[in-house]
A and B are shown apart, each in its own frame.
Chain A
């Protein structure tokens, strides 16, 4: 059994207004494992990912990363091993391709470098080589991100996630704003890079067929609870009927 990389224990979250997003979620993510979370809108997928990221504060429950609680002082040091990919890419559209990738290193360089936007040479070389890795070889990296297609933008989002050499990538519906063809390509890219660099992925998805292709394990959520948690090869229609009503 591979080591447990990240574990969520008894996570509960109720938003103001009484919407229960997480109702006691327990989840373990192992090294070098790709997990897809399925569920209809409002099932709690996003909240789960955001709570790991620290963007949502849990009411109760704890999150452990390599057996350390992801809290307070530990948070920022452990955070550097966790990267994120977003549904809307969350890139700075008026900035260049290269600087968007380098943003991944934001908390690792000194203040004056941020102030004058002078990134270390080594990071710049790494960013350019990552551009190649995400399939954008030969792209003009001084181009503004706003001029790129959705698929290209998400590839840059992936490059930004990879620049910190993470151990796990969290992805909140990374392909839901892309067309199916591009979505498939992006997921394939994610899977290949993850396997190559031994990165775990926790990814929420809408499309079942993508989850089957992409993930090692599929977790089904409904009303803030985990309904099933099994290998993607053993996923049956009866399982899906439990989460999509």
Chain B
């Protein structure tokens, strides 16, 4: 009995304690460096504010500047009819109407150096009740299209990449190495950075976004797919090797059916990810709803921003539900 105890490794020893201590020190230093205490401070303050013990908090101050303007979300669009080319008052778009807003014009009096009202002007605006919603819809559709095309490009690119970066199918180690490097390289550059280069190459708009997202996710799919090919059950593959089948035939008949469910899962994940990223890359010129979001944010039009955020949330949520259904349909029996 005693002998057995001697042979067993203790669950922890001095080394373990040392490493725990070391980890704790690094943890504390790093927390100080990145401002974790400040986060705790502010959250504490805000919670006191919330229950009414204290009446100022930095979080509240920071957000209150825009929170009032963020609600309600803007759905209508207004446009000065003088800026509309060939405006025809008898033939207005559906549900829209013309509304008159009074606007005052000011001028600096050169004698007194004061602002003086010189005239009150009436400006006619064409109001479309759901005009902005329509614009958001068009823009978000563009984002969805970016996501789909990017995913399509990534599928096309990932198939050869996966084939050559799967160790058991790559023709030789040099090609294997090159394919693996490409796959890693594609994943290494974040979309937000690569889209900057793509904007230079393809210009502002959806094309840049599609290329940036497509290349990045091709790296992901290529890696995952290659690893699945490597891990596939070798039994059926041996059976076909023994029958004298060529490599790609073996891949098509035995490996593909095995890895397909996993591949569909990856694909749906990539599609989901591309959809979310497609809304972001617009911020740096990649087209889609992100461009609109950035524009409105910079113009302090926070009501519009709320509309956009709600729209993005809805699209992502609906896609989530759809992909769950699609997955069970494609993978299930």
Contact = CB atoms under 8 A, between A and B. Distances in A.
B254 A92 contact: yes
A107 B249 CA distance: 8
B203 interface: no
A104 B243 CA distance: 7
A90 B241 contact: no
Contacts of A75: 244
B238 A107 contact: no
A76 B240 CA distance: 12
A94 B243 contact: no
A106 B242 contact: no
B257 A95 contact: yes
Tell me what chain B mostly uses at the interface: helix, strand, loop, or mixed.
helix
Given A115-B252, A144-B333, A79 B243 contact: yes
Interface in B214-255: 233, 235-236, 238-246, 249-250, 252-254
Contact of B245 (A90, A93, A107): A107
B244 A79 contact: yes
A55 B236 contact: no
A99 B333 CA distance: 17
B239 A86 contact: yes
Contacts of B233: 93
Interface string B247-280: 0011011100110110000000000000000000
Given A92-B253, A92-B257, A94-B258, A103 B240 contact: yes
Contact of A106 (B243, B257, B261, B333): B243
A150 to B, nearest CB: 14
A86 B233 CA distance: 14
A107 to B, nearest CB: 5
Contact of B260 (A55, A79, A94): A94
Nearest to B258: A94
Interface string A48-59: 000001110000
A90 B244 contact: no
B229 to A, nearest CB: 14
Nearest to B234: A90
Interface in A26-82: 53-55, 75-76, 79-80
Given A92-B258, A94-B257, A114-B252, A106 B236 contact: no
A55 B238 contact: yes
A223 interface: no
Nearest to B240: A106
A107 B260 contact: no
A94 B261 CA distance: 10
A106 B245 contact: yes
A78 to B, nearest CB: 10
B191 to A, nearest CB: 33
Contacts of A107: 243-246, 249
Contacts of A111: 249
A137 to B, nearest CB: 24
A55 B257 contact: no
A197 B133 CA distance: 74
A84 interface: yes
A114 B254 CA distance: 11
B115 to A, nearest CB: 77
A140 B236 CA distance: 21
Which of A53, A80, A106 is most buried by chain B, counting CB atoms within 10 A of its CB?
A: A106
Nearest to B235: A90
A100 to B, nearest CB: 8
A188 to B, nearest CB: 23
A18 B253 CA distance: 36
Contact of B242 (A53, A91, A99): A53
Contacts of A93: 233, 258
A80 B252 contact: no
Contacts of B257: 92, 94-95
Nearest to B233: A93
Contacts of B241: 54-55
Nearest to A80: B244
Contacts of B244: 75-76, 79-80, 106-107
B255 to A, nearest CB: 9
Nearest to B252: A114
Contacts of A84: 239, 242-243
Contact of A90 (B236, B253, B260, B333): B236
Given A89-B235, A107-B244, A115-B252, 5 more contacts: A55-B241, A92-B257, A106-B250, A107-B249, A144-B333
